[in-house]
Structure 1
Amino acid sequence: MRIRKNSTRLGIAAAVSAFAIAMSGGTAQASTTAPTIGDGYANNGNAVWCIQHSLNWARNIHQIPWEPTWPEIAEDGKWGPSTKAAVVAFQRNYDWMVTPDGYVGPETGSVLLPLGEGYYNGTAAKPGYCYQYIPTKA
């Protein structure tokens, strides 16, 4: 089971990286200037909605059956305990790529962006609504 889980994680990491490169024509990048989202930050409601929607989309579309899941959350644009819990659970699912700290900064945004709904998240060639709000690495 552990070998299967690790090989699945490697496969997902490779798929996320390949998808991001293919869709953006380069490295995965949305906004390197978008602020971190989480407790203690001046959270933009549009940015929070984009994170909530991306988390729900990734949960419902990309979830691996034997992996732990994060809860589906309201897409209300308000940062709170439910959204933070979903972010932490998402980060724990991808803990080989991100630190489970409850914040959406460039590290988490770079993993979440290609897993979200393409219509809203977009690509470098055709940015979607959320492209400007999700922080990513350069």
Structure 2
Amino acid sequence: MHKVAGGFGALKVHSRPLIPIPYDEPVDNYTVLIGDWYFLDSGRPLGRSEGVIINGKTGKVGDKQEPLFTMDPGKTYKYMICNVGLKASLNFRIQGHKMKLVEMEGSHTMQNVYVSLDVHVRQCFTVLVTADQTPKNYYIVTST
């Protein structure tokens, strides 16, 4: 019901100080909730989604929207990406940036680098992203 009413948020669980993490501490942590979106008015079975949302926003072309996240040049940030949708697996990328996968479902992984990730329904990944590109606005892209 919380999601249907437009409420979005995540629980952040921090590592205990006694448990070492296998990467340097990032400058900041961001949460990205992605998912397919449906209008459920007529009681019919789910068909095609009405769209894809990122942190509750549609990102329609032409809409003036504030940036979701800000990164300083040369700094590394941690992004937790979760697919909170109903049916669709989604592809996630940050325009022009590489993502180092460091956690999957809360467990540390082999640290491989990707330009995009397929995130299945109810799946969460944590990646490190370094702002190593020319400073400007970059798109976060989520697609089916």
TM-score normalised to structure 1 length: 0.24
Higher helix share: 1
Highest relative contact order (Cα 8 Å, sep 6+), 1 or 2?
A: 1
Structure with greater strand share of residues: 2
* TM-score, L = length of structure 2: 0.23
Structure with greater Cα Rg: 2
